[in-house]
Amino acid sequence: MQMIEKIAVLGAGRMGKAIAIAFAYAGLNVDLIDAKQRSEAEFEQYQTQIRADLQQELQLLEKIQFIQAEQQDFILDKIAILSKQAATGILPSCALILEAVPEVKQVKQEIFAWLDQYLSQQCIVASTTSTFLVTDIAQMISHPERVVNAHWLNPAYLMPLVELSRSDQTSNEVLTQLKQFLQAIGKVPVVCNAKAGYIVPRIQALAMNEAARMVEDGVASAEDIDIAIRTGFGLRFSVLGLLEFIDWGGGDILYYASQYLQKELGERFRTPEIIAENMRQQRNGLREKQGFYNYADVDIHQYKQDVLRTFSDRIEKSKLKPSFNILQSAT
């Protein structure tokens, strides 16, 4: 893999600063660029503030024991804070630029028009947007084949996942290079097509809205819903993916549960056609060794044992494992 070395982050807001820390933590030099045109005096004041913000974030990471005290200066020294004017001198040599400016179309258009004047044809352009499709961003720059959306989850220096969204114009080489680079610095990239919501925000929005609706409908208290998520839903899906769990329990179980919930609670619980089709084709999961995944060559007994062992470890590490013979021990 050709390592990406010259990196810039455009926009020094919360996401931009966090991504810069993630790169610096990996040992890379990164230029953090102010997206606004300021006077020299204004920029000096702004630069001081951004440096203080970075220090505050690093102090927090030390307190939670994510980094050691001596690593703070190492990370901070890797991040150069540049004015928009000074950035024009380094942009032509950039191999990767992460755009993290406000989610306003005019602001995006203006910043990409400005970047277009300086970036080389070899530079990968990755927008961190959660509002604009990569197809929208690709129209704002003269080399759409170099454009990818790279959606980081907050806080970017902690969360492993980065969702990469490509357009039909994005080159396979660019996507592969960026994916391998992110893997090399310890991130977990996944790829999705240009659809609203990426993967996590789309699923997350449904779950959060349903939780809020349950409070609104008087189903349970906010506290009990969150306890249920932390000790049930969240634990389960830290071990198994959603589609993997459908296969684990059986697609037919989801089908019938969805039929009941649709009848009782509404159309938002309608079964997707892919579940119904899998049922018709007897692709319900582990029982038939075929579902969303193919288990033809999988030792199902060993697979289940490995999953349950991981699940047991998570429960124990979360301090949720009950003591053996707990009632007898209490007397």
The answer on pLDDT for 211 being more than 60 is: yes
For residue 80, is it within any domain? yes
User: Cα(44)–Cα(52) distance, rounded to whole angstroms?
Assistant: 12
Rounded CA separation 5/99 (Å): 17
Burial 103-137 (b: 16+ CB within 10 A, else e): eeeeebeebbebbeebbeeebbbbbbbbebbbbbb
Number of domains the chain contains:
2
Q: What percent of the chain has pLDDT over 90?
A: 96
Boundary-marking domain end, from 175, 193, 211: 193
pLDDT band at 325 (very low <50, low <70, confident <90, very high): confident
**Residue 221: inside a domain:** no
Residue 219 within any structural domain of the chain? no
Over residues 98-117, the mean pLDDT reads: 96
Evaluate whether residue 323 is within a structural domain. Answer: yes
Task: Determine contact, residues 79/41, Cβ cutoff 8 Å.
Answer: no
Whether 59 is in a domain gets the answer: yes
What is d(CA 124, CA 120) in angstroms, rounded to the nearest whole number? 9
Q: Give the whole-angstrom CA distance, residue 144 versus residue 137.
A: 8
Residue 48 located in a structural domain: yes
Please tell me whether residues 174 and 243 are part of one structural domain: no
Question: Which residues are CB-neighbours of 44 under 8 A, at least 6 positions away?
Answer: none
**Domain co-membership, 171 together with 26:** yes
Mean pLDDT of 113-132: 96
CATH number, domain of 91, equals: 3.40.50.720
Look at residue 122 in the predicted model and tell me its pLDDT. Answer: 94
Per residue in 142-198, pLDDT (tens digit) is 999 999 999 999 999 999 999 999 999 999 999 999 999 999 999 999 999 999 999
Q: Which two tokens stand for residue 87?
A: 């950035």
Nearest to 118 by CA among 31, 13, 19: 31
pLDDT band at 328 (very low <50, low <70, confident <90, very high): confident
Asked if residue 119 lies in contact with residue 142, where contact means CB atoms within 8 angstroms, the answer is: no
Kindly state whether residue 65 falls inside one of the protein's structural domains: yes
pLDDT digits (tens, 9 = 90+) for 36-95: 999 999 999 999 999 999 999 999 999 999 999 999 999 999 999 999 999 999 999 999
pLDDT number for residue 327 = 87
**312: in domain:** yes
Residues 82 and 94: their CA atoms lie apart, in Å, by 14
Kindly indicate the confidence band of residue 3, based on its pLDDT and cuts at 50, 70 and 90.
confident
Read off the tokens for 34: 């102010």
Rounded mean pLDDT, 297-323:
96
The model's confidence at residue 5, banded by pLDDT at 50, 70 and 90, is confident
In which domain, by residue range, is 268 found? Answer: 238-330
- Using the predicted structure, report yes or no on whether residue 330 has a pLDDT greater than 80: no
Same domain, 133 and 12: yes
* Average pLDDT for 17-23: 98
